[in-house]
Amino acid sequence: MSSNALDALVNFVQQTWADIPTPLLLAITIILPFIPVVFLYVLTRVQWEDPVPPPLGCRKLGRNGRSNLSDQYAKSYAKGGESAPHNRWRVKALFTYPLKSCAPIELDSTEIVRTGLRYDRQFTFGQQVTGLPSLEGKVKSEWTFITQRTFPRLAKVETEIWVPDPAAPGYSPDAEYVKSEGCLVVCFPFSPDTDFSIAGLKNYGKILAAKLSGKTEPMVEFRVPFNPPKERIQKMKYRSEKMKIWNDTPEALNIESEIPEEMMAKLKYTLGVANPLTLFRIDTAKYRRVLEHVPKETDTGFPTIIGMHDAYPMHIMNLASVHDVSSKLPKRSKPLNALRYRANVYITGPPAFNEDDWAKARIGNNAYHISCRTTRCKLPNVDPETGVADRNEPGTTMRKYRIITKGSQSACLGMQVSPLIDNGVITVNDEVEVLETGEHFFVKK
């Protein structure tokens, strides 16, 4: 553009601006800065997604309101014994983990069955791992479970359990999820691409809407039946496949046909999984048998069995023990969130590590076999609130003084538990009483 043309344009703008009446000019001056804000608000409201309707005939399982662990950092829980609130040993909080290594559901009360807490660890994600060719040229490919140890973002995958309830809207014995004993809802964060295209701006609106609703990222979800009947298994063409959990290779139900391909692709992106990924449900006709350090079947009347658990049906944690580890972390470390240890039952009252030698305990009205100490890997290094793993802590601190079982080089915290009953209940505030103590041994598998 020539200098004369530029001068003419400047003169035109100045003249046009000068011709605007003063009141209108004042209004434009006031409104102009708010235009971007109004645009973002409209964009956000347009992309604000209505919640998915609840499954017909079902109610949501779980505690409402503040967590029972909301005051877990209080010093009164650190010493146990006489300093414990109400001066007694009790259940502080209850959690179930329907989908292994994902976020838990907090409960006020829970049924106890042979596999531990009803609904606990019945599902797991599995990735297909292919090894290097052998000398004979054979290649081994197998499904292997995944956890926060290698995919810490699993901590950001939220779960819900919806259970049949005749009082729930739309209840019918023939309702889709009523016939399947309810459903598992899986919610996970997924931030779509943003740019200056129409689609990119819409995605930016989704991100803003998520932040305004208290989430760090937009959430997407899918649903699967909790315990599908045979006709659904056949209709949806589930596959029974071997799936590796540690040294165990149980047959489980591959239920990928229940999940849209696009949804699984988003989940892989969120978690950072490159291999084929799917969702497995334990086959209720093929629960895994636990053989070591468990009560005798002749005493209980049933074998000790598990779903997708690491080793035992239940896990208990003494809050004073978590405080002790937290007090020994390097300076300026944040206090440890007890949820890092992913226990089912959190108790208060006993002094730190008093539980190390428990052999049998009463919780509420029923007795439980305290099977062994819980050996710890790197999973507690993952912050359950952020899904970010620390390279060292609390693992490094625990290894300095919690390698306590002869023959094991792993730090221990918490206790593995086997039910002595097939139909019981644990409720928050239930009293805890030690019935027997004894020595625990390490058995290398």
What's the confidence (pLDDT) of residue 27? 63
- pLDDT, one tens digit per residue, over 292-339 is 999 999 999 999 999 999 999 999 999 999 999 999 999 999 999 999
Helix, strand, coil percentages in the chain from 3-state DSSP, rounded to 5: 30, 30, 45
Residue 221's beta-bridge partner residues?
187
The span from the CA of 75 to the CA of 82, in Å, is 13
Element (H, E) at 333: none
The span from the CA of 254 to the CA of 240, in Å, is 6
Question: Closest Cα partner for 120 from 391, 290, 310, 369?
Answer: 310
**What angle do helix axes 198-212 and 35-47 make, rounded to 10 degrees?**
80
What's the confidence (pLDDT) of residue 137? 74
Asked if residues 364 and 108 have their Cβ atoms less than 8 Å apart, the reply is no
Query: How far does CA 208 lie from the centroid of its chain?
Result: 24
Length of the chain: 445
The span from the CA of 366 to the CA of 432, in Å, is 10
Chain position carrying tokens 């799917």: 278
Q: What is the pTM of this model?
A: 0.86
What's the confidence (pLDDT) of residue 205? 57
Element (H, E) at 7: helix 3-19
What's the confidence (pLDDT) of residue 79? 83
What's the confidence (pLDDT) of residue 139? 78
C-alpha torsion angle, residues 141, 143, 147, 150 (rounded to 10) = 10
- pLDDT, one tens digit per residue, over 56-90 is 999 999 999 999 999 999 999 998 765 444 568 99
Number of helices followed by number of strands (H, E) in the chain: 9, 24
Q: Which portions of the chain are predicted below pLDDT 70?
A: 1-50, 81-87, 192-215, 443-445
**In the 8-state DSSP scheme, what is residue 402?**
-
Asked if residues 356 and 404 have their Cβ atoms less than 8 Å apart, the reply is yes
The C-alpha R_g of the chain, in whole angstroms, comes to: 27
What's the confidence (pLDDT) of residue 43? 47
What's the confidence (pLDDT) of residue 208? 62
Asked if residues 267 and 279 have their Cβ atoms less than 8 Å apart, the reply is no
